[in-house]
Amino acid sequence: MRDGFIFSLLTLLCACSSASEEPSGPCKRASGNYNITYTQLTGDCGRISDVIVSVETGDTSTCTVRKSDWSPDMCHNDMDFTCGDSKDPALTADTVGSCDWNKDATSAACTISFVARKNGTIECRSTYRLDYRKL
């Protein structure tokens, strides 16, 4: 239960953190496909396998985005959102974190705190480092 749910929620980071405004520089807007490597820093949610995601096609329909703020230069973003699992409405996750992108948007390093709940009871909580590499 945990691995598939965590995987589906964390891949939404791309969609929840993608910018809609035009960059004012020096960093370009992230677009295209990325390989994401997850490294658990603390907690008990467990290992997550690498995934390939498209920044443009992430589905945020089961998410409530409280914050998705980009720096004026488009090199940093902060996010705070809660997502549900479309297959099991009892599952939710709160995610808070930030990403730093390189100037040509070919890579980013993110740190996120993640709390998964089932029927409101905490299932696990972890902090992850996410490394994005453009394909």
49-102 pLDDT, tens digit each: 888 887 765 556 667 888 888 888 889 889 888 888 777 888 888 889 999 999
Global confidence as pTM = 0.81
- Domain borders along the chain are 2-20+27-134
Q: Residue 40: helix, strand or coil by DSSP?
A: strand
* Cα–Cα distances in angstroms (integers) from residue 96 to residues 24, 87, 116, in the given order: 25, 23, 12
